[in-house]
A and B are shown apart, each in its own frame.
Chain A
Amino acid sequence: MLHFRFSKPILLATLALTYSITCYATPSKADYKSFQPSPDQPYYFEDGKVDFGTYNGFRRYHADCHVCHGPAGLGSSYAPALLDSLKVMTWGDFVNVVISGREGRDNMIMPSFAKNVDIVTNLSDIYAYLKARADGVIGATRPAKFPKVKKLIADN
């Protein structure tokens, strides 16, 4: 599906994605400290709180995505509500659209974010946030969070 020409930025993006996807290698949900996100379980939720990655997804979403897609994935007058889209989109679909961009209905344009380091390196966090929204796990406001877990390099 991805028709990449391996220009430098795209290559960078691809590498970053591979990194993100490797993050998904060992799913686990024991507690927030040992939690490893996966496409099936991208976020951790307990006692009204999300893991730090999902919280970071909330922040990144509201920096780069919400100007079109509306606060908290609610959509706007010119881009779809991701709250709904993520009910049907898979992780693969999501990556595809964010990296390649696409032309939608009514002159709607999703640009390619392949060159955007802020997006590419936080993509699995943004996915986790939107998935948590789509699943109805968290509301429209800033989610409460567990502290950041320092990951040992050896973990990857």
Chain B
Amino acid sequence: MVTAKRKVLAICFTASAMLAAAGGVTANSELLKMQQNANDWVMPNGNYASTRYSELNQITAKNVKDLKVAWTFSTGVLRGHEGGPLVMGDVMYVHTPFPNKVFALDLNDDGRIIWKYEPRQDTSVIPVMCCDTVNRGLAYGDGKIIMSQADTTLVALDAKTGKKVWSVKNGDPSKGETSTAAPMVVKDKVYIGVSGGEFGVRGSLTAYSLKDGKQVWRGYSMGPDSDTLLDPQKTTHLGKPVGKDSGINTWKGDQWKIGGGATWGWYSYDPDENLVYYGSGNPSTWNPVQRPGDNRWSMTIFARDADTGMARWVYQMTPHDEWDYDGINEMILVDQKINGKMRKALVHFDRNGFGYTMDRVTGELLVAEKFDPAVNWATHVDMKTGRPQVVAKYSTHQNGEDVNSTGICPAALGTKDQQPASYSPRTGLFYVPTNHVCMDYEPFEVSYTAGQPYVGATLSMYPAPGGNNLGNFIAWDADKGKIVWSNEEPFSVWSGALSTAGDVVFYGTLEGYLKAVDAKSGKELYRFKTPSGIIGNVNTYMHNGKQYIAVLSGLGGWAGIGMAAGLTDPTAGLGAVGAYASLSNYTQLGGTLTVFTLPD
């Protein structure tokens, strides 16, 4: 007991000393520096560029086969555990799905709990979360740990004590506004979006003051220019000014007010351009016939000024969505040669099955190619207009209400969902966890009631033709727009990838395996079965001279719905379905953190 107490004191002292030392530095430069320290893992995707790459190289393609479990930690929460922990110095910060607990764990003592935070939230928020009560993680800034709770309360906790410093409400769950995203801190601000595209919310990104939680600006996905923070002349779409009220004039009547475009994904930041990048989700409802027009700016990549929120450029990937291909997946910022020219690039693997490479300074579209050959809803993206060329047979709008459009690839969960990819500068490749699932989609008329589901379509999902695998883990060349290698996975890969300077790539599987593969060839080098299916993201850190790999397991999320039950019924009569056993034969629920390292 005495030893334990002393340790707490020691940690508190170290932490305060660190903070004191950082006192004269702004929060901005603090984080810019911290994200470069490979020993720590200070933001959900490792760094502002969201590369999920680490310079640590103790664990290599040669020795990863010897990896052993160092310690484990049960979160005590069932349901889907997305995201992953942060690590700073001697402390690891772990979050959970609803009820959104946060634990600070002592890395000097096998993860002993330093403090724990558990908010009181109204359980009525649970059923207005469309796809499980997931939460994708924490942000750090200026001595605070920041979390966006399910009920949209954004809370800042003292990193040393877990005491609440401030909290602010970002949305209204009684209107279907909820939160699942991990916030991002830039300079003196915290950024957070909103979930609820299936409830007719109007998506927005909001900046709050890191100091006291006061709202600084809010940019909506649709609405008048004063709401969207789009400048009719200065904001561009593929080089052309967007024009006045572009967030209204592609909508029928007032439909933009319940237009969706939720902002529940990941946020990236380029300090040189001072731009925040993120994507917006599906327009509401899923019945495209009910909402004619391009439905701008749903399904859009936004580049907003971090200080003012004004958008420099936007790009709508899927105008007038007819398939629920949310555009919220992560934006990976890399400097790479594209078509022979050095570019400040943004690479994005969209739900719609296209891998986009853009110039992140200007918003110019450079590459748009399918990252799964099964993708069939569009033949290609017209590089001049940026519009996908929709195949009539798979157009749920052209086929109309009450008609079942069949064989559409990908399914609504996309060729890739939120599970973030990784980029290794050593190989120049992107490592992408994917789904390989197709669907039937039948839209029909629905009515809007605040706080009630506003869906308007029924879907069936099944494996893409020609195989039994529901997922692939691929390596992608963003210059050529080509798959370099592809590993089949029996289930969708719903876990964020990690690549390292040891030329190893890590990811988790729905059966619960943590896998390590060779960054160059994709050859499997190691696997370990964790207690539950993995939908969390892998990270790495260094502590006392040793490199560790950490991952949350805990089946759930959308993957836990569609995959655990429906696709695996042998009586379903869906072609190769007999080959599937239910996921529940492999794994059960339960949140556990597993930490790996090499033996001494």
Residues of A in contact with B (beta carbons under 8 Å apart): 9, 58-64, 66-68, 70-72, 74-78, 81, 103, 106-111, 113, 115-119, 139-142
Closest chain A residue, CB of each to CB of B287: A63
Which residues of chain A are within 8 angstroms of B560 by Cβ–Cβ distance?
76-78
Q: Report the number of A-B residue pairs with Cβ-Cβ less than 8 Å.
A: 117
In chain B, positions 125-144 with a C-beta closer than 8 Å to chain A are 126-128, 130-133
Would you call B466 an interface residue if the criterion is a C-beta within 8 Å of the partner chain's C-beta atoms?
no
Give chain A residues whose Cβ lies under 8 Å from the Cβ of B456. Answer: 63
Q: Is B556 touching A62 in the complex (CB atoms < 8 A)?
A: no
B574 touches A77 (CB 8 A): no
Partner of A110, one of B127, B133, B442, B555: B127
Q: Mark B553-587, 1 if CB is under 8 A from A, else 0.
A: 00110001110111101011110000000000000
10 nearest A-B residue pairs (beta carbon): A71-B566, A62-B458, A74-B565, A111-B127, A116-B452, A77-B560, A63-B455, A70-B565, A76-B561, A140-B572
- Given A111-B128, A115-B452, A118-B446, decide whether A142 and B440 contact each other with a Cβ distance below 8 A: yes
The answer to whether residues A75 and B458 also contact, given A67-B131, A139-B571 and a CB cut-off of 8 A, is no
How many angstroms from the CA of A60 to the CA of B573 in the assembled complex?
Answer: 21
Nearest CB of chain A from residue B62's CB, rounded to whole Å: 38
Would B561 and A67 count as touching, CB distance under 8 A? yes
With A78-B132, A110-B127 already in contact, the answer to whether A67 and B453 are too (CB < 8 A) is yes
Contact B561 A70 (CB under 8 A): yes
CA distance in complex: A61, B453 (Å): 11
Q: For residue B567, which residue of chain A has the nearest CB?
A: A71
Residues of A contacting B: mostly: mixed
List the B side residues contacting A58 at CB < 8 Å: 458
Contact A139 B569 (CB under 8 A): yes
- Looking at A59, A71, A110, the one whose CB has the most chain B CB atoms below 10 A away is A71
| Contact among B127, B446, B457, B460 for A141, CB-based, below 8 A | B460
Q: A63-B457, A72-B566, A74-B566 are in contact. Are A111 and B124 (CB under 8 A)?
A: yes
Contacts of A74 in B (CB 8 A): 565-566, 569
Number of interface residues of B (CB under 8 A): 48
Interface residue from B198, B447, B460 paired with A67 (Cβ < 8 Å)? B198
0/1 string, B477-496, CB within 8 A of A gives 1: 00000000000000000000
Given contacts A63-B458, A76-B565, A77-B589, contact A106 B572 (CB under 8 A): no
Contact B573 A139 (CB under 8 A): yes
Query: Does chain A have a CB within 8 A of B444?
Result: yes
Residues of A within 8 A of B589 (CB): 77
- A119 surroundings in chain B (CB, below 8 A): 452
B16: interface (CB < 8 Å): no
Q: Give a binary string over B447-475; 1 marks a CB under 8 Å from any A CB, 0 the rest.
A: 10101110111111100000000000000
Partner of A77, one of B79, B128, B198: B79
Q: In the complex, are the beta carbons of A63 and B126 less than 8 A apart?
A: no
- Please report the C-alpha to C-alpha distance between residue A75 and residue B573 in the assembled complex, in whole angstroms: 19
Closest to B198 in A: A67
- Cβ of B404 < 8 Å from any Cβ of A? yes
Query: With A77-B78, A109-B124, A109-B126 given, is the CB distance from A142 to B449 under 8 Å?
Result: no
User: Is B398 on the interface with A (CB-CB < 8 A)?
Assistant: no
What are 29 A-B residue pairs whose CB atoms fall within 8 Å in the complex?
A59-B442, A60-B458, A62-B458, A63-B457, A64-B452, A67-B561, A71-B562, A74-B565, A76-B561, A76-B564, A77-B79, A77-B556, A107-B98, A107-B99, A109-B124, A109-B126, A110-B127, A111-B127, A116-B453, A118-B446, A118-B453, A139-B573, A140-B569, A140-B572, A141-B460, A141-B572, A141-B573, A142-B404, A142-B460
Known contacts A71-B567, A76-B560, A118-B447; 16 further A-B pairs (Cβ under 8 A)? A9-B449, A59-B458, A63-B453, A63-B457, A64-B453, A67-B455, A68-B561, A71-B562, A76-B564, A77-B80, A77-B132, A103-B123, A117-B449, A119-B452, A141-B573, A142-B440
Cβ–Cβ contact B126 & A141, under 8 A: no
Cβ–Cβ contact A106 & B566, under 8 A: no
Name the residue among A78, A107, A109, A119 with the largest chain B CB count within 10 angstroms.
Answer: A78
A130–chain B nearest beta-carbon distance, Å: 14
Neighbouring B residues of A75 by C-beta, 8 Å: 565
Q: Which residues of A contact B572 (CB under 8 A)?
A: 72, 139-141
How long is the Cα–Cα vector from A69 to B190 in the complex, in angstroms? 35
The CA-CA distance from A75 to B131 in the complex, in Å, is: 13
